Structure 1
Amino acid sequence: TIFTSGSTGKPKGVTVSHRAAMAMLRADQEHYGFTSPEDVILAVLDFTFDPSVLDLFRPVLSQGKVVLVEQGEQRDPWALRDHVVRHRVTSVMMVPSMLSLMLSELSEDDLRAMSTLRTIQVGGEALPPALAEAVHRVWPQATLHNQYGPTETVIYSTIAEVGAGSSTVPIGVPTPNATAYVLDSRLNPVPVGVAGELYLGGEQMARGYIG
């Protein structure tokens, strides 16, 4: 059970089944291909933030490694840079605002030293196109992925790989174990280009709210 403020600001416990969690982890492994002992995950996110679950379980499935940062280092660009270089980190997941801070505070040499990065994932906030373009400029060897989804669908349920030169950053398509529909007020699918509400479902749905 993970407590999340959601849209109301009042914490509520989201109870996730083992089956739903494994559906998320299988989809994640299929997308990113974390299958090698060479995979080194840098766990940047606070453990109260549900995506941190991925940092802990990805290495279990891939036989790779996880690097845990000290308390307070999650918001220290220079400490994160040192971890990436020292441990030859290949994958990192963070919110766009922290990624933006790293790019603005670290020198060009510091950023180039993080050349082992192969995949960068963001979520929890909107990813501005300008930030995405800056990431590709400083780390051309890495792919950039935008993950979207509430705790109720176990971490993320849609994903988009954001390429260089993108004018917009979409939330992408559903994972193999999730569904996503844009519906009108009568729960009918809307035509392409028409605004509606996003409904998520599939194997990744949580069991419900505690109590």
Structure 2
Amino acid sequence: HKGSVNVARFNHDGKYCLTGGDDRRVLLWNPYKDPGEEVAPIKEYAIHSKQVLDVAVAQDNASFASCGGDKTVFVWDVGSGRVLRRLVGHDQRVNAVAYAGTDCSVLVSASYDKTVRCWDCRSRNAAPIQVLADHADSVSSVAVCGHEIVTGSIDGCVRSYDLRVGKVTCDRLGQAVTHVTLSHDSNCVLAGCLDARLRLLDK
């Protein structure tokens, strides 16, 4: 990369990794090189017009999504490098993206425009199937498990959306939230904040 690397993600079986950076590119890497062997990207995915901020890999490892400063989410075929979908609807940069559903049929994107948008990857309809607009500031991070979407926002809140019953739970941390991740059993949320602290929330 030429410039900052903003995200690095392994695929689900750990055989390759993807990185995205300020140079507007996503690069595919083989992380298992022999010591001393030159490390070079296997493939380059370049269509973003501004920095790439996040990448999410589908469960089958055949496709991935990227998002960034150009307000757009792209879905890519890993092998061919072809763009499968271009998802437009956010008014500001897209900070984070994650797959949802057992078959990764839904894509969730979080934006500086204070919204989270859910997209049906199987539909030809370009509009989001749901927009979550409860945030008072930029949505910095999103995590998904089954029917639940968890978001972290600069407004200092961690929100959990239960899509089955339409319920929203809000934990007010009093500090801007920069990242959220779920425990493996999905019973806890770990939140990183701008005050240099991690907060563990029991759901």
State TM-score, norm by structure 1. Answer: 0.29
Larger-gyration structure (1/2)? 1
Higher RCO (CA < 8 A, seq sep 6+): 1
State TM-score, norm by structure 2. Answer: 0.30
Between Structure 1 and Structure 2, the one with more strand by share is 2
